[in-house]
Amino acid sequence: MRVNDKDYRTVWMEDGVVKLINQPLLPNTFEIYSCQNYRQTAEAIKTMIVRGAGAIGAAAGYAIAQAYLSDEDIQKAAQVIKNTRPTAQNLFYAVDKVLKAADKKEALSIAQQIADEDAQACKTIGEFGVPLLKDNAQILTHCNAGWLAFVDWGTALSPIYAAKRQGKKLFVFVDETRPRLQGARLTAWELSQEKIPHAVIADNAAGYYMKKQQIDLVITGADRIALNGDTANKIGTYEKAVLAKENNIPFYMAAPLSTIDFTCESGDAIPIEERDEKEVLEVRGVRLTPNQSRAKNPAFDVTPAHYIKGIITEKGIFKPDKIKQLAPQ
């Protein structure tokens, strides 16, 4: 990720301190946030200073390593970290992997390996996905599944970045993605940094552009993929998949293997995080609704496998019902 002519990862570790790009401040302010211990890193995950499947996973891996370095109760630390975001599979994958470390040195090594593998997997996802994007393609994406959602490159945006580097001309429709506006704030910021033409649209405008045949395909990220191909992603993704099906537009999801939960039989078993109702009732502290009104705020929904044309992984593009063959032997 290149920002102001300098290369960054979304999350990294220096001398036991976890460094994060402070995402709630974007696009107005670019700031690096430092977490001195695992509790601070867990809080950064919970409050979405760091967010996105792969970035959460890398941060969680580093957090467990911090617990090792500080001689904390490792099992207690693991539970604190796992309790931060219940839907994101990468978080559980990373915590469980670092927990296998025999000592501090190995914990650091495994955590770094998780981050490095995430960056490489996302780069490879871009390489597999780029043939889907014809020159002058118009793509719809939902939420943010780019650099900021992973250690680098991203998933849904990785093919777009790869296509741009090959000289293809593209246009991206960016769902604003209420209530936290990750599309309007983060995806649009990333595309601006890459000088990729785009337009932010209201979440409920996607069907309008699909019906006008102005969208060629949809690519989103994923937060947890079940064994049958059902996939949880940011709230509103299911609606986009239904609209795409109705308008004969191919709908793809992109995710590394670490997002697949091989113990989860179907989307019915994926836990859905409910976040604070203030995220719906307010925008950056300004109340938009009557004081007497309440809100419901599910952070994710599940797109059934039959709406998904393919899942782009670092091992290739797979039909949802073929995901199970990627299970570790």
| pLDDT per residue as tens digits for the range 237-278 | 999 999 999 999 999 999 999 999 999 999 999 999 999 999
Cβ 58 vs Cβ 118: under 8 Å: yes
pLDDT of residue 112: 98
Cβ 247 vs Cβ 211: under 8 Å: yes
From 85, 38, 96, select the one nearest 272 (Cα to Cα). Answer: 85
pLDDT tens-digit series, residues 189-244: 999 999 999 999 999 999 999 999 999 999 999 999 999 999 999 999 999 999 99
The answer to whether the peptide bond before residue 256 is cis (omega within 30 degrees of 0) is no
Of the candidates 118, 223, 230, 261, the residue annotated as catalytic is: 223
pLDDT of residue 59: 98
pLDDT of residue 3: 84
Residues in the chain with pLDDT values less than 70: none
- Looking at residue 94, the DSSP 8-state letter turns out to be H
The yes-or-no answer on residue 301 being catalytic is no
User: What are the angstrom distances between the C-alpha of 224 and each of 124, 136, 259?
Assistant: 19, 31, 5
Domains of the chain, start order = 2-123 (1.20.120.420), 131-326 (3.40.50.10470)
pLDDT of residue 160: 98
Exposed / middle / buried, residue 17 (Cβ in 10 Å: 0-12, 13-18, 19+): middle
Q: Which residues pair with 234 in a beta bridge?
A: 300
Distance, in Å, from the CA atom of 96 to the CA atom of 75, rounded to the nearest integer, reads: 10
**Three-class DSSP labels, 26-90:** CCCCCCEEEECCHHHHHHHHHCCCCCCHHHHHHHHHHHHHHHHHCCCCHHHHHHHHHCCCCCCHH
